[in-house]
Amino acid sequence: MENCKGEGSKEQLKVILSQLFYSVLNNTPQQCAELFNFLTCKLAPDYEGAEINLGDEVLMAAISDTYDVPKKFVKEAFHKEGDLGIVSQTFAAQLPVETSTLTFTEVFDQFKHIQQTTGSDSVKRKKLLIQCILKKATPEEALTIVRWLVGNLKTGAGEKTVIGGLSRGLIMFLKPELPIELIEIDSQKIEGLINEAYNIAPNYEEIIRQILANPKNMYQIKEHCSLKVGIPIKPMLSKSIKGFDEILERFQGVQFTAEYKYDGMRGQIHFNRRAEPQVQIYSRNLEKMTTQFPELAEQISKAVKPEIESFIIDTELTAYDKETDKYLPFQILSQRSRKWVTPKDLETKVCICAFDMLYLNGKSLLEIPLCERRGHLHQSFNQCQDFMFARFRDIDANFDVLPYLLDDSLKDNCEGLMLKSLHATYEPSKRSTNWFKFKKDYLEGSSVADSMDLVVVGADWGKGKRKGLFGSFLLACYDVEGQQLQTMTKVATGLTDEDLGVMFGKMKGLIIGKPHQSLLYKDKNVDVWLDPQHVWEVKCADMTLSPIYCAAKNYTGDKGIALRFPRYIRERPDKKINEATSSEQLYDFFRKQQGV
């Protein structure tokens, strides 16, 4: 799979994966779901939070103890290679296992065991569990095992490609009589249906089991994956709109609403009066946030009307000052600890700003228009100081009120407006043309319609009064399909001397000897490479194509997209690396700027 590169490589990977899935389906079909999880470096659905959370230090210690190599040498090899999988393979080759005795089930079960290991001495016990499988592994197996534990198999196959391979394998297995020329047509159809089912019930294991249990009804898989309280749905997303002229063009003759765009954190809230706990909260990335916001369960219980048995609502969680009756910046909310909430964290009051309802008393509301969903939402709750409905105004023909609404939202410490078609259904996971975000920034002369969330991957040393600190930083976007970071700009503007001191304190321990294994780059002109752990929000004046950057190169050709006059805005500690702005989104921004 690693040899599949260049034009047509994704199709080659799909063919290889389809043959792998076909073989497993013929021999051990019960392992098909686990194979899918293995290939996507997951143990369970995202909402279960089943992450191994192993740092490089733990893996280096395990490699050191397994192959009886001083940890110093392991670190040196890692700095040289930038890939702990290759490091493990290299040391394993010096003490090779002649015959492999490991099975897929044994390895995957051990991964689960590692994830479930908690409590005192858990790091030590996890290290011993890793050693157990590495000691039995051939050099090639050690490479794969360690890369999986890092979270990147480096096969070039992202989740989308694996789904394509699975779909083709399922068609080959379930419809063996199908002519080869029709296999691709049917596999594309089932791939689309799997994606639709996943957007509503994001559990690939369950989807695969449902297809295998009901092969005659595989084209109705979406009907078997219904919306349920306790299983988060992929949220609907918005596009950006640049100015009043574009608003006029987009919404001419369309009834729409202008809502406040709150400066907070997306929160999908699930409630079941008969369950324990009654309230569960999920992030836009489907991760459970209930323990991060323990006070919200009581706020929900007070606001929901007694006749409501169950619901799923879409909200923005915002920091709120009760004394001044003002919303506070997102940074204040983002400082809250994810797992271990302290009394100090709870001093920051959180307001739930509800703007949509997806499910009510056992029934999905996804297929009804926004105006009706909003009606159900408003009828189901009583507003109070810490539970509010998103402020809105419906617009028919009078577009002249929009500048005043935008100004009001900014005075209330919001980011701008969300413009939504009143007759649109809820489209899970889709960046829809029925929802647009409209910020003040878009009116300030920039040809780029939105800020970007980029990953810090390198830095240059500062000069003058910034000597001894990092003075500028190399940033990258994230390519979802290739599971790789792609360089796109250097930024120094917007960072104060105080910021640089703080950033240096956070990042001096992240220096690595060569570019990270997931980074696609061209220009090596950077003083130090950094382990990618930090996401920053950045704005720019416009975009251009550059021969020294790689961003969206898979869409643009030889040259990558680069930012002109980039400016640091803020840290985004709430975002993981794979939640950074994608190469596809960047290309969409670039095309809009070019008027394509």
In whole angstroms, what is the distance from residue 351 CA to residue 386 CA? 4
Is 90 in a helix, a strand, or coil?
Answer: helix
CA atoms within 13 A of residue 163's CA, in its CB half-sphere: 19
Looking only at Cα atoms, what is the longest distance across the chain?
A: 77
The stretches of 175-219 forming alpha helices (DSSP H) are 180-200, 204-213
In whole angstroms, what is the distance from residue 365 CA to residue 384 CA? 24
In whole angstroms, what is the distance from residue 46 CA to residue 580 CA? 17
Distances in Å between the alpha carbon of 193 and those of 186, 196, 204, 430? 11, 5, 12, 14
Distances in Å between the alpha carbon of 493 and those of 176, 335, 505? 60, 23, 19
Q: Is the dihedral of CA 514, 13, 215, 189 positive or negative?
A: positive
* Residue 455 β-bridge partners: 476, 535
DSSP 523-552: ----SEEE-S--EEEEE-SEEEEETT--TT
Rg, C-alpha atoms of the chain: 25
Q: Is the dihedral of CA 297, 302, 306, 308 positive or negative?
A: negative
* Residue 279 β-bridge partners: 271
Residue 367, number of CB atoms within 10 A of its CB: 8
The continuous run of DSSP H or E covering 570 comes out as strand 567-571
Of the candidates 127, 261, 539, 575, the residue annotated as catalytic is 261
* Residues contacting residue 560 through CB under 8 Å, at least 6 positions apart: 486, 487, 488, 522, 545, 546, 548, 549, 550, 551, 552, 553
* Residues contacting residue 554 through CB under 8 Å, at least 6 positions apart: 479, 481, 482, 583
CA 487 from chain centre, in angstroms, equals: 18
Print burial letters for 530-550: b (CB count within 10 Å at least 16), e (below 16): bbbebbbbbbbeebebbeebb
246: nearest Cα among 402, 453, 411, 428: 402
DSSP state of 510: G
In whole angstroms, what is the distance from residue 360 CA to residue 269 CA? 12
Annotated catalytic residue 302: no
The continuous run of DSSP H or E covering 564 comes out as strand 560-564
* Residues contacting residue 477 through CB under 8 Å, at least 6 positions apart: 452, 454, 455, 485, 486, 488, 551, 552, 580, 581, 582, 583, 585, 586
DSSP 443-488: GTT-SS-S-EEEEEEEEEE--GGGTTSEEEEEEEEEETTTTEEEEE
Hey, which residues are catalytic here?
A: 261
